Amino acid sequence: MSEGMGLLEQGAKLLLRGLMDEMTPAMEELEEALRDLSAYEPPEFLPNGDIIIRRKEPLPAEPDVGEDGEVEL
């Protein structure tokens, strides 16, 4: 009986270790995304149900791109 419990414990440890290895990249991406939240103001809830989340510092304006893909400087 104790041998079976030991094997069960070993299997559970291997399963959890495998899950941790699989989830590590996703958790790191989530951590990075949460750090980026400091660049935004708190959400505004409008009466019509829309939610607006504004950046604290707006992104720089993109240059106008012509039809041929050229950018005038």
User: Model confidence over 25-60: pLDDT tens digits?
Assistant: 888 888 887 777 788 899 999 999 999 989 888 877
Task: Compute the mean pLDDT over every residue in the chain, rounded to the nearest whole number.
Answer: 85
2 pLDDT above the threshold of 80 = no
Instruction: Look up the pTM and report it.
Output: 0.40
Instruction: Tell me the pairing of strands 51-52 and 44-45.
Output: antiparallel
**Cα 26 to Cα 63: distance, rounded to the nearest angstrom:** 34
Q: 41, 54 in Cβ contact below 8 A? A: yes
Residue with the larger pLDDT of the pair 22 and 66: 22
